Amino acid sequence: MTMLDFSFMQGFIRLVGDGFAKGWHERNGGNLSYRLKEDDVHAVAPFLHDKGVYQTIGAAVPDLAGECFLVTGSGKFMRNVPLEPAATLALITLDSAGENYRIVWGLEQGGRPTSELPTHLMNHEIKKRQTGGAHRVIYHAHTPNLIAMTFVLPLTDRDFTRALWEMATECPVVFPQGVGVLPWMVPGGDAIALATGRLMEQYHVVVWAHHGLFCSGADFDETFGLMDTVEKSAEIFVKVHAMGGKKQSITCDNFRDLARAFKVKLPDRFLD
């Protein structure tokens, strides 16, 4: 048994490899984090070291105090993660205040957790509360078609939600809350973390204009599936516009019928 035999580790590595194969992770683009279950934490204990020193997270996340996360490393290439997981990933634990972290496994040749650690952890804290602990995965990717959309559509939740819902019938069922949209912001700091968090209170998907997407989900399949669904819809949007734009589309009454049939609640503000 090694660290790489745990199913959460395999699920994490598979997601990263699939994201790279999709073309979402040029160079060191994108990052991923997973909040370990109690069972995971007990199971991995024999494989951890205590050489790591506490460092500041750059954000306070008291509701995550003492929790353990698997995260991608800052500057590490997603393409290399399946080949060298112990050099590109880190397992970190948070202190009892939820203000500092230390590395207990991984980044064997040195390094730091993802530059987006404050955003990941602040959003894990929000999602843990909002979903009663169900959500454990936060994923950021540079999805090209969605990024292209942010150069032509008004940067509002309504414009993006309606455009994405209309481009693929499954979308309102997969993300009935819609998507939140942020204007361009400097990556990596607490300003983008706070702004993303405000939108994550309402949505599981947040668009970072001219940059990429931020998604939350219960497990690796659900979170990857959400990213994939949004990006595929964005790809159809790009094709439709390249062909001269919509000539017909799914109507508001169609959406209402869909909501009834699939028992989802679509916010009225997106249906007029």
Residue type, 147: I
Task: Indicate whether 115 belongs to the interface with ligand 2HA (CB under 6 A).
Answer: yes
Task: Indicate whether 116 belongs to the interface with ligand 2HA (CB under 6 A).
Answer: yes
116 is catalytic: yes
Binding mask 125-144 for ligand 2HA (x = CB under 6 A): ---------------x----
Single residue of 17, 82, 111, 187 touching ligand 2HA by CB under 6 A: 187
Copy the structure tokens of residue 254.
């169609």
Instruction: Choose, from 67, 116, 125, 166, the residue flagged as catalytic.
Output: 116
Closest CB to ligand 2HA among residues 136, 140: 140
Task: Indicate whether 28 belongs to the interface with ligand 2HA (CB under 6 A).
Answer: yes
- Which residue number is nearest to ligand 2HA in terms of Cβ? 187
Copy the structure tokens of residue 93.
């634990």
Task: Indicate whether 189 belongs to the interface with ligand 2HA (CB under 6 A).
Answer: no
Closest CB to ligand 2HA among residues 188, 225: 188
Tell me the three state secondary structure of residue 158. Answer: helix
Task: Indicate whether 29 belongs to the interface with ligand 2HA (CB under 6 A).
Answer: yes
Single residue of 31, 123, 145, 233 touching ligand 2HA by CB under 6 A: 31
Single residue of 3, 15, 24, 30 touching ligand 2HA by CB under 6 A: 30
| Binding footprint of ligand 2HA, residue count (CB under 6 A) | 9
Integer CA distances (angstroms), 231 to 144, 182, 244, in order: 8, 17, 20
Q: Where does the chain show beta strands of DSSP type E?
A: 31-35, 55-56, 68-72, 89-94, 100-106, 137-141, 180-182, 205-208, 212-217
Integer CA distances (angstroms), 11 to 3, 135, 179, 227, 262, in order: 12, 15, 25, 15, 29
Strand pairing class (31-35; 137-141):
antiparallel
Check the CA dihedral 206-86-125-192 and report its sign.
negative
Q: Which of the residues are catalytic? A: 116
Summarize as ranges the residues that interact with ligand 2HA (CB under 6 A).
28-31, 114-116, 140, 187
